[in-house]
């Protein structure tokens, strides 16, 4: 799933900006290698200008200034293990995926804010832009023991941690930044119940979410060979960095970078260490780490350069400028990935919709009301979000293709109502009616709505220049006063 799909046209969130994307592209890739070519091609195709819409005002569930990054133009690529193998996703994994992206499994505050697991872990990757005032020190960090989502779990300490990527998480036990929980299933439960005050999940639901999270793979890295070693594509600098990485520390020969970040073991050792960052924290993986900034448990560092400097200082490594550059080059090489991002588009959205629709069909057949509700909930949110990408006549920034946009909007709205009929039939235990309605839903979705959306996409907010024009209006409109105006606004 590429986003929780809740914000519709009224969202406030940040986009993956051109500047950010350029940084990622140039920091994480080299032209002509794997993801680099793709990233640069995407970069050239994009309009200029950064877009940022922090949530303002005091009316919403989240504090003013919150950023959820749900309008990103490019979304992290998600690779499920079953997909990597070329297999179909299992029912359990698909159910977990739906639940992962449904606010309904979390507590009341998260639900009203439209926040799901997928808000922080977009497509399994870390949401490096997420920022909630009072819960974040900087983008990409979050205080999971803060007061907002679960007051009973508030530890009264402002201690945000970096939002972790879940890629390859099945290889990365123990869980939590300090490795306090051995079991991924228990960790998932703790997030749902402990951090976000959700209802106790059923064993089946917990199994499903855990199974889905376990399916999230590392993205392939075309620069890594067997045993986590650089392959023949490596540069001289990267090779020097690899050697330095394995070299014992001068003042403590029992230690080396590779001693903890073991290349043949997903660059982890499953242990906690005090590396001078304020306590014992588990060794993070370096695979796909180009896309995992900020770094360290509290997200204190933005770049590999800063990380290398930290270790140089802490362990008195005596690195030369060339050594530092080589280590950074090595980290970038092993942290790379093929196709790290997908352009947000009808095609990418329908990949999720297809999977979730299949789950819905299976849930109806199994008379599984909980799964039906989750699928309807998540599909409905996703479809409503798509509708808002195809603006109606009120959006003066998008002028062409109005008739076509209306047709597409109408078709998707019909799909949403068809989904609701399925839910209503299921809630009345009339699964035959639900199955019959599913056939209608399927036809409306894939025979009618999808072609209309594809044919109209050039006039939608999936089209970057139109998106930029739309966002420019939003930027102009959303300017807020330095001092809140209380005199006339209705109390909310």
- Number of alpha carbons in the 13 Å side-chain half-sphere of residue 365: 8
Contact 110/149 with Cβ under 8 angstroms? yes
User: What is the nearest approach in angstroms of other proteins to the Cβ of residue 131?
Assistant: 14
**Distance between CA atoms of 106 and 200, rounded to whole angstroms?**
9
**Distance between CA atoms of 215 and 193, rounded to whole angstroms?**
22
When the beta carbons of 182 and 472 are compared against other proteins, the nearer one is: 472
When the beta carbons of 8 and 50 are compared against other proteins, the nearer one is: 8
When the beta carbons of 7 and 297 are compared against other proteins, the nearer one is: 7
Phi/psi for 301 (5° steps) reads: -115, 140
User: What is the nearest approach in angstroms of other proteins to the Cβ of residue 211?
Assistant: 24
**Distance between CA atoms of 39 and 25, rounded to whole angstroms?**
6
Contact 160/141 with Cβ under 8 angstroms? yes
Contact 283/273 with Cβ under 8 angstroms? yes
User: What is the nearest approach in angstroms of other proteins to the Cβ of residue 2?
Assistant: 17
Closest CA to 35 of 268, 305, 340, 249: 340
Structure tokens belonging to residue 244: 């330095």
When the beta carbons of 253 and 491 are compared against other proteins, the nearer one is: 491
User: What is the nearest approach in angstroms of other proteins to the Cβ of residue 369?
Assistant: 14
When the beta carbons of 19 and 59 are compared against other proteins, the nearer one is: 59
**Distance between CA atoms of 491 and 61, rounded to whole angstroms?**
14
User: What is the nearest approach in angstroms of other proteins to the Cβ of residue 415?
Assistant: 10
**Distance between CA atoms of 294 and 314, rounded to whole angstroms?**
19
Structure tokens belonging to residue 229: 């070693």
When the beta carbons of 184 and 426 are compared against other proteins, the nearer one is: 426
Q: Is 118 left (phi over 0), alpha (psi -120 to 50) or beta?
A: alpha
Q: What's the Cα-to-Cα distance from 175 to each of 62, 164, 322, 375, 389, rounded to whole Å? A: 27, 10, 35, 28, 37
Number of Cβ within a 10 Å radius of residue 439: 11
User: What is the nearest approach in angstroms of other proteins to the Cβ of residue 437?
Assistant: 10
When the beta carbons of 153 and 380 are compared against other proteins, the nearer one is: 380
Place of tokens 């739906």: 98
When the beta carbons of 182 and 429 are compared against other proteins, the nearer one is: 429
User: What is the nearest approach in angstroms of other proteins to the Cβ of residue 443?
Assistant: 15
User: What is the nearest approach in angstroms of other proteins to the Cβ of residue 8?
Assistant: 5
User: What is the nearest approach in angstroms of other proteins to the Cβ of residue 347?
Assistant: 23
**Distance between CA atoms of 22 and 259, rounded to whole angstroms?**
33
| Burial status of residue 52 (CB atoms within 10 A of its CB: 0-12, 13-18, 19 or more) | middle
Rg for the chain, CA atoms, rounded: 23
Binding residues (CB under 8 A) for other proteins: these are 6-12, 55-62, 103-104, 111-114, 377, 380-381, 384, 388, 392-397, 403, 406-407, 409-411, 413-414, 416-417, 419-421, 423-424, 470, 473-474, 476-482, 485, 487-492
When the beta carbons of 43 and 109 are compared against other proteins, the nearer one is: 109
């Amino acid at each position: 799933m590429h986003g929780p799909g809740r914000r519709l046209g009224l969202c406030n969130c940040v986009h993956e900006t051109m500047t950010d994307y350029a940084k990622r592209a140039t920091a994480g890739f080299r032209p002509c290698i794997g993801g680099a070519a793709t990233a640069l091609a995407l970069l050239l195709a994009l309009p200029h200008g950064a877009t940022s819409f922090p949530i303002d005002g005091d009316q919403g569930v989240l504090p003013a200034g919150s950023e959820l990054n749900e309008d990103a133009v490019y979304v992290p690529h998600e690779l499920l293990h079953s997909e990597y193998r070329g297999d179909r996703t299992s029912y359990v994994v698909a159910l977990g995926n739906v639940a992962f992206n449904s606010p309904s499994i979390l507590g009341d505050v998260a639900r009203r804010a439209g926040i799901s697991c997928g808000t922080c872990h977009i497509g399994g990757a870390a949401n490096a832009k997420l920022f909630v005032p009072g819960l974040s020190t900087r983008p990409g960090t979050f205080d999971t023991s803060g007061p907002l989502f679960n007051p009973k779990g508030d530890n009264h300490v402002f201690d945000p941690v970096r939002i972790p990527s879940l890629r390859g998480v099945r290889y990365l036990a123990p869980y939590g930044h300090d490795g306090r929980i051995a079991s991924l299933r228990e960790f998932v439960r703790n997030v749902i119940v402990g951090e976000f005050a959700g209802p106790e999940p059923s064993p089946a639901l917990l199994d499903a979410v855990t199974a889905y999270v376990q399916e999230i793979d590392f993205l392939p890295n075309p620069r890594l060979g067997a045993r986590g070693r650089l392959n023949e594509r490596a540069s001289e600098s990267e090779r020097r960095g690899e050697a330095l990485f394995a070299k014992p520390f001068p003042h403590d020969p029992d230690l080396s970078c590779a001693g903890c970040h073991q290349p043949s073991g997903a660059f982890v050792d499953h242990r906690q260490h005090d590396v001078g960052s304020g306590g014992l924290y588990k060794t993070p993986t370096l695979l796909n780490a180009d896309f995992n900034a900020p770094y360290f448990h509290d997200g204190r560092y933005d770049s590999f350069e800063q990380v290398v400097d930290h270790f140089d200082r802490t362990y008195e490594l005596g690195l030369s400028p060339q050594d530092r550059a080589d280590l950074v080059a090595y980290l970038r090489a092993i942290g790379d990935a093929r196709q790290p991002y997908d352009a947000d588009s009808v095609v990418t959205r329908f990949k999720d919709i297809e999977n979730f629709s299949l789950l819905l069909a299976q849930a109806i057949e199994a008379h599984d009301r909980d799964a039906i509700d989750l699928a309807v909930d998540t599909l409905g949110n996703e479809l409503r979000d798509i509708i808002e990408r195809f603006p109606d006549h009120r959006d003066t920034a998008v002028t062409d293709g109005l008739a076509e946009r209306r047709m597409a909007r109408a078709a998707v709205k019909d799909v949403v109502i068809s989904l609701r009929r399925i839910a209503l039939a299921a809630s009345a235990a009339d699964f035959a009616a639900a199955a019959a309605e599913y056939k209608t839903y399927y036809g409306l979705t894939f025979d009618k709505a999808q072609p209309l959306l594809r044919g109209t996409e050039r006039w939608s907010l999936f089209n970057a220049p139109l998106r930029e024009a739309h966002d420019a209006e939003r930027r102009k409109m959303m300017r807020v006063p330095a001092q809140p105006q209380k005199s006339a606004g209705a109390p909310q």
